[in-house]
Amino acid sequence: MHVESGTPQSATPQPAARLARAAVRRGTPPDLLCDCALFLDIDGTLIDLAPTPEHVLVDDDIARLLPALGRLLGGAVALITGRTIRDADALFPGLGFPVAGQHGLERRSADGVLHAHGEGPPGYNWLHGELKALCERHDGLWLEAKGATLGLHYRLAPGLASYVHRTVRAMVSTLGAAGAEWKLQPGKSIIEIKPAGRDKGAAILDYMSEPPFAGRLPVFVGDDRTDEFGFTAITVLGGWAVKVGPGKTHANYRLRDVAAVRRWLTALLLRCTVGIEHAR
């Protein structure tokens, strides 16, 4: 894929407020614009889910698509993920995009500055030990320790879903009684335990106050319950919130699957490439 950088003269931005008002709730999103600030979840949005996070496949198409979008949008593209920044960088080596990791608990801004939001309230070591013991007792459970957050995966043991949720809720309740503020964040075959006070929506709001995102039309694409915080923030800002796949959502648009997301993103590049050629 060869795409020249810069905004073509033929792609005239439209006022963000008018476009947001014209939204058809949960319909297919309009064509992306060159004045967007684009925020993208990773797993289940840009790449298909896998049994465990380390088994996801980053193919050549998405590896080429992301930097091309970054050039076209003047760097106003950020990854908003439950993964750590380190994991995101490992998936896309050399990309160097702004990334909000661990649901906003860590955030790298466009100027490369890392913003950390603490290591979490007391009780982490106890919680880690209890969850590790739980995994040892039940085949198919897998614990992901991300630093400030913990993720308990049960994709390989779906029959344990209700038991996992009940058990983890009881653990967090115990911590709460001891004065430690932890928050549960259910996702697709995972329940994450994180310090209260930060989420994907907060990370997006931070980005929208900084260059090169400020003043642009915010667009966030995500697939999971953890992305609903981002959808809410985007809606408040008058932007486009795009849900990938089925399920209840606060998003005002929807795309069917990862393939549909990629086609939608690629369409912007194709339109702008044609515009550049016509301008010549």
Residues annotated as part of the active site: 41
CA 153, distance to chain mean position in Å, is: 18
63-90 burial, b for 16+ CB within 10 Å, e for fewer? eebbbbbbebbbbbbbbbbbbbbebbbe
Alpha carbons 35 and 13: distance in angstroms, whole number: 6
State the SS3 of the chain. CCCCCCCCCCCCCCCHHHHHHCCCCCECCCCCCCCEEEEECCECCCECCCCCHHHCCCCHHHHHHHHHHHHHCCCCEEEECCCCHHHHHHHCCCCCCCEEEHHHCEEECCCCCEEECCCCCCCHHHHHHHHHHHHHHCCCCEEEECCCCEEEECCCCHHHHHHHHHHHHHHHHHHHHCCCCEEEEEECCEEEEEECCCCHHHHHHHHCCCCCCCCCEEEEEECCHHHHHHHHHHHHCCCEEEEECCCCCCCCEEECCHHHHHHHHHHHHHHHHHHHHHHC
Cα-based distances in Å from 134 to 7, 40, 155, 167, 175: 53, 32, 15, 9, 17
